[in-house]
Structure 1
Amino acid sequence: MLVLNHKLILLAFLVLALFLAAADSVDAKKQCHAKGRKHKHHHKRPHKQSSSAASPTAPKPTTNQDATGSTSGSTASSGSSSSSGSGSGSSSSSSSGSSSSSTSGDSTSSSSGSSSSSSSSSGSTISISGFTPPKGKAGVAGGNSLKWIANSLGWYYDWTPNPDNPNGDNILAVPMLWGLGRVGHDDDWARFEAFKKLKPGSSPFVMGFNEPDFSGSGSSGKISPEDAASAWEQYLAPHARAGAKLISPSMAMQKDETWMAPFLKAVKTQPDIIAVHIFQDNMDGVKGVLDHYAQYGKPMWITEFACINYQGPSPVYCDQSKVDSMLNQMVQLFESDSRVTAYSVSDANNGPFGDLTPNQAGQSLSATGKSYLASVQQADSKKRRRDGLVPVRR
């Protein structure tokens, strides 16, 4: 009987241990689920959505940041839509804020930030010079295709605080504070909690909110500029003080947005870089979006772009031929326009030919993935020849 009781006790401990391990596993999956989620755009008419709607309740900062916490960009104008190129104290001469495209064919990704000073501050653990990732402008939003294209890129992100690259750390991973922690909305709470644990100084670039001017799936959803500025000072400003360059929230409304100017006016710690989303089906539309954001007088990162137009009654999709052509033209434009210091194609269900891998499974490159890779490699080859790194055959 005594032996039987001992066996029952051991069995009970074993069952309890298995239960606790399972509970920990479930919690871990909830925290990490955001890494695997497919970022999707809500197929609505962005320019018909009101950007002045009330924002969801945001976590209130526990402390007030003073002006000493601002980055070098804090000398910028207070968010006026007519801010000049000198608005960012550390911005290079390339970010002129002019409404005309600067498409000098001999400009390079490094020239866009080469005249800026190091952004490291007292006590900083990192030091960066310029506004372009060290390995180049080209990147990708989403990690499914990294196995196939990472060697040709300079950076990537996946809408989380801890971007997941299963193929190693061969390119720069840029963390993001996606939203303000709404429960039950696109893993917002898990991502928010994970970002709060991100150590300042661990990354040279840190991104702000994803499309806070839009309420659809895939967007952080109707955060007012004032609430965003308050959260920015609490959660983003510490990274700036540790030496990181901050990348502004991105807008779903593209050139129809009215959110950015009030945010820049309200925030003390100015972003160093303006994030831009471009979803257009013609190059005039692409250039129009660039010119709109140039008014803020800061370098631009195109953090999502694709050949699709979300601004009509329903999305206008591009066929494969047009996708190939537009990707090539956009890559050439972003590489040559000195106002653009980084860009990342969107791997996020942007139409029937929008994915970089078939069904976003990451098992191989789709025709679109191959087209983007070829465009980036072509641009890199041209740059290397201009720089004299590759001899020209005669």
Structure 2
Amino acid sequence: MQLSTLLPLLALLATSTPTLASTHRRHSAKAVDHARAVGRLATAVERRQPVGEVAKPKRKVVRKRGTTCRAKTTASSEAQAAATTTSQAAATAAETSSTWVEPAENYTNGTNTSQAAQDSSSATSTSAAAAATTSASSNSTSTTGQYTPNGKKAGIAGGDAYDQCEDYIGWWYDWSANPSGHSGTPIAVPMLWGAGTVDSTDASRLSVFEAITTAPQYIMGFEEPDCSTWGSANIDVSTAAGLWNSLIGPFKAKGSTLISPSMCHQAAEQYIGWLASFEKQISVSWDITNIHVNKNNMDGVKADIDYYWNTFGKPIWVTEFACVDDSTDFVPCTDQSEINTYINEIVALFEADERVHAYAYSNGDGLGDVWPMYKNGALSESGQTYVTAISNVQH
């Protein structure tokens, strides 16, 4: 090649080499930045918290039958509820993951452009998939098996509407140690209501429970022991743990499925800590977490379920639910249209949520004149709405 031809080529090469090197450095920097971003995403998914965001403090007020419990400021339910999206994270670990929380939070990950990013995404996906497998396994008996009586989630708290509901419920209870007055397929669930110290009825229930010799299929422990209001058992943790260890725990070895005490404070129990302390003091743990839901919107219902699922990780029974505005006080719903909508929505929610294995319409006192499902010897409109809703899901 002639020198006159070679010199322009050498000049061109000398000019382009820094540009190529610079381009390579920019792409390498982008790859490193992306790898770091994916690493942050992996950490966020593991913590179930939106990337780059810090959970905002939230103040919550809960009222239960005359007592207001103002919760301490703490991390918002958005970060806690995000843990319920484990199965979604397994399917979309490298794309988008979201949770129902109001408003919904989104986690977004871009396209992998480096081996480091791919490795990070793979590790996240593997971890999420394992968690999802565990969750699916624990929920395998959501509609059949030992956690859902007769394969029907629906039940009633209180036996006065039993005859009208019998064909559509799998279980019932009446807050006593020996539910009686009805026979049929629905399973009667005995309960140790309290420590026998509240009144004569409480003392009688304790005596009847102590006389049980044959292990029942299910046993429920303590009616709202974390509150001192009317209708609640009001038991300190150590006393309740002692009674559980001596009277309830031994039935597990005999084949009974144990249902935890119910909490008066709903999701605000996280600030009280009664059930968490109780769990540490008992020798035999419960099989099913028992919760009460007094809300008038589905976001509130979901928040209650999420807290107990995320904290204790066990199948859930909602042994009482009612339409109540508890945002600032305990105010039962009185509008029939609102109640009818609420019943249809909450039944659909419970039936679709695999964490909930059973639920019961509360027909207890203190819920106003419109909510009770049975009045004057017949189903009320609210009761008929419930029967229609649960019958529809079974056809």
CA displacement 1:70-91 (0-9 Å, x = unmatched) = xxxxxxxxxxx99x99xxxxxx
1:46 Cα offset (Å): 4.0
1:353 to 350, 367, 370: 370
d(CA) in 1 for partners of 2:319, 2:99: 21
d(CA) in 2 for partners of 1:207, 1:284: 27
Q: Quick one: which amino acid aligns to residue 230 of structure 1?
A: G
Q: Which residue of 1 aligns with 2:127?
A: none
2:161 to 136, 145, 159: 145
d(CA) in 2 for partners of 1:224, 1:49: 19
* 5+ residue gaps, structure 1: 1-40, 51-80, 86-98, 103-110, 117-127, 382-394
Does residue 291 (structure 1) correspond to residue 306 (structure 2)? The answer is yes
d(CA) in 2 for partners of 1:245, 1:113: 16
Tell me, yes or no, if the aligned pair for 1:135 and 1:155 is still in contact at 8 Å: no
Tell me, yes or no, if the aligned pair for 2:372 and 2:383 is still in contact at 8 Å: yes
Kindly tell me: are residues 226 and 49 of structure 1, through their superposed partners in 2, closer, same or farther at Cα, counting changes over 3 Å? farther
2:67 to 45, 52, 55: 45
Q: Which residue of 2 aligns with 1:95?
A: none
1:200 Cα offset (Å): 3.9
d(CA) in 2 for partners of 1:320, 1:230: 44
Identity, % of aligned positions: 36
Q: Which residue of 2 aligns with 1:370?
A: 384
Q: Which residue of 1 aligns with 2:278?
A: 263
d(CA) in 1 for partners of 2:191, 2:334: 29
Structure of greater relative contact order (alpha carbons < 8 Å, 6+ residues apart): 1
Does residue 176 (structure 1) correspond to residue 188 (structure 2)? The answer is no
d(CA) in 1 for partners of 2:198, 2:267: 30
CA displacement 1:116-141 (0-9 Å, x = unmatched) = 9xxxxxxxxxxx94311124110000
Q: Which residue of 2 aligns with 1:212?
A: 225
Does residue 247 (structure 1) correspond to residue 259 (structure 2)? The answer is yes
Kindly tell me: are residues 115 and 325 of structure 1, through their superposed partners in 2, closer, same or farther at Cα, counting changes over 3 Å? closer
1:10-49 aligned within 5 A: 43-48=65-70
1:171 Cα offset (Å): 1.0
CA displacement 1:129-162 (0-9 Å, x = unmatched) = 4311124110000001011111111000000011
* Structure richer in helix, relative to its length: 2
Say what the alpha-carbon RMSD is for the aligned residues. 2.9
Q: Give structure 1 regions of 4+ aligned residues with deviation exceeding 3 angstroms.
A: 99-102, 111-116
Equivalenced residue count is 272
Where 1:47 maps in the other structure, the secondary structure is: strand
TM-score w.r.t. the length of structure 2 is 0.64
d(CA) in 1 for partners of 2:141, 2:318: 21
1:111-260 aligned within 5 A: 114=140, 129-166=145-182, 168-182=183-197, 184=199, 187-201=201-215, 203-221=216-234, 223-257=235-269, 258-260=273-275
d(CA) in 2 for partners of 1:101, 1:241: 39
1:351 Cα offset (Å): 1.8
Kindly tell me: are residues 354 and 319 of structure 1, through their superposed partners in 2, closer, same or farther at Cα, counting changes over 3 Å? same
TM-score w.r.t. the length of structure 1 is 0.64
Q: Quick one: which amino acid aligns to residue 368 of structure 2?
A: G
Q: Which residue of 1 aligns with 2:322?
A: 306
d(CA) in 1 for partners of 2:318, 2:187: 16
